[in-house]
């Protein structure tokens, strides 16, 4: 692979790169030639080792681990996005392993962007959005924002985004006359308008992948967690962000400073306490008093 990536390199370069002797380099070159890889050796000051530009590895060339990882990734993607190209690529890869025995579950990765108890509605919306992206079809969507604002819009879907285990659709919004990112889980209903749109040129760099955090202030938070609440807190905060502290635990995270953070902390009923910052602790205290009817 190193030889394929560059036109020519010296034996000394390869020996240094792989921490072997130049003698070993020439031995490996011999073995490659025996295996059918046409490696050329040019002696002299401007010489080196190279593979002709006309040589190509077979398109299906994978190690067993690479093959397994690729099939698993495509299986995971196809479980959410039924793109014909993805399914075709998966079919071609699997045909190379005809002796492979497949069980009821293909691969060892399953991606499910839906919520608990949502058996079909989410996948139906995903399918509509995916078709709209692939076939450039306009959509009518019934959308509910995080603030509870209910709106009906016509959008031109450009691309699906999977970020932090959540699916979004990046689309041109006819109402706002600009590009917006819509969380698919917040689309109550989606249907085709019967019209198609002409796709504008949009580069990946133009798509803002920090769309959520740009709208809110981020804050460094330190939390104290009771031992009984640890499993739930690990699901929420991630195990790597939590450390033992006596008979309790401490979590240090950077989180969006919005109402959702306060509500999440309150949902633990006192088993999660805010140590820092003071402003967040006061917000949690004020919300708790409001629940109890204390002015």
Asked whether residue 116 is domain-assigned, the answer is: no
Asked whether residue 81 is assigned to any structural domain, the reply reads no
Residue 249: band (very low, low, confident or very high) from pLDDT cuts 50, 70, 90: very high
Nearest to 271 by CA among 249, 293, 246: 249
Q: Do residues 133 and 192 share a domain?
A: yes
* Phi and psi torsions of 57, nearest 5°: -70, 150
Tally the domains of the chain. Answer: 3
**Residue 4's Cα: distance from chain center in Å?**
30
pTM of the model: 0.52
Q: What is the pLDDT of residues 23-38, one digit of tens each?
A: 999 999 999 888 888 8
Q: Domain of 40?
A: 2-50
- What is the tens place of the pLDDT at every residue in 189-209? 999 999 999 988 888 888 877
59 in a domain, yes or no? no
Is 126 in the same domain as 192?
Answer: yes
Domain contains 90: no
Looking at the structure, tell me whether residues 7 and 38 fall in a common domain: yes
Residue 19, exposed/middle/buried by CB under 10 A (0-12, 13-18, 19+)? exposed
Among candidate residues 163, 184, 214, the one where a domain is terminated: 214
Look at residue 273 and tell me if it is in a domain: yes
Residue 231 is assigned to a structural domain of this protein: yes
pLDDT(123) > 60: yes
At 80, the pLDDT band (50, 70, 90 cuts) reads low
- Per the prediction, the chain carries an average pLDDT of 82
Which of these ranges, 71-75, 100-104, 236-240, 281-285, has the smallest mean pLDDT?
100-104
């Amino acid at each position: 692979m190193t030889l394929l990536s560059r036109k020519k390199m010296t034996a000394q370069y390869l020996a240094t790169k792989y921490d072997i002797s130049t003698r070993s380099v020439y031995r490996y070159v011999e073995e490659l030639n025996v295996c059918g890889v046409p490696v050329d050796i040019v002696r002299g000051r401007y010489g080196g080792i190279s593979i002709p530009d006309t040589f190509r590895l077979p398109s299906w060339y994978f190690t067993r681990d690479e093959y397994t990882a690729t099939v698993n990734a495509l299986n995971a993607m196809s479980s959410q996005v039924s793109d014909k190209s993805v399914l075709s690529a998966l079919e071609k890869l699997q045909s190379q392993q005809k002796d492979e025995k497949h069980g009821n579950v293909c691969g060892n990765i399953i991606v499910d962007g839906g919520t608990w108890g949502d058996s079909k509605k989410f996948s139906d919306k995903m399918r509509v959005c995916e078709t709209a992206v692939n076939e450039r079809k306009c959509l009518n969507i019934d959308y509910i924002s995080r603030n509870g604002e209910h709106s009906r819009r016509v959008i031109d879907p450009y691309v699906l985004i999977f970020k932090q285990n959540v699916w979004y659709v990046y689309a041109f919004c006819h109402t706002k006359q600009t590009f917006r990112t819509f969380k698919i889980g917040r689309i109550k209903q989606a249907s085709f308008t019967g019209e198609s749109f002409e796709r504008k040129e949009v580069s990946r760099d133009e798509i803002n992948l920090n769309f959520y955090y740009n709208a809110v202030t981020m804050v460094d938070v330190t939390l104290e967690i009771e031992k009984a609440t640890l499993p739930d807190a690990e699901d929420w905060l991630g195990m790597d962000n939590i450390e033992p502290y006596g008979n309790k635990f401490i979590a240090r995270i950077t989180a969006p400073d919005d109402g959702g953070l306060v509500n999440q902390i309150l949902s633990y009923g006192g088993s999660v306490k805010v140590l820092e910052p003071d402003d967040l602790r006061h917000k949690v205290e004020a919300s708790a008093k409001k629940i109890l009817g204390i002015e």
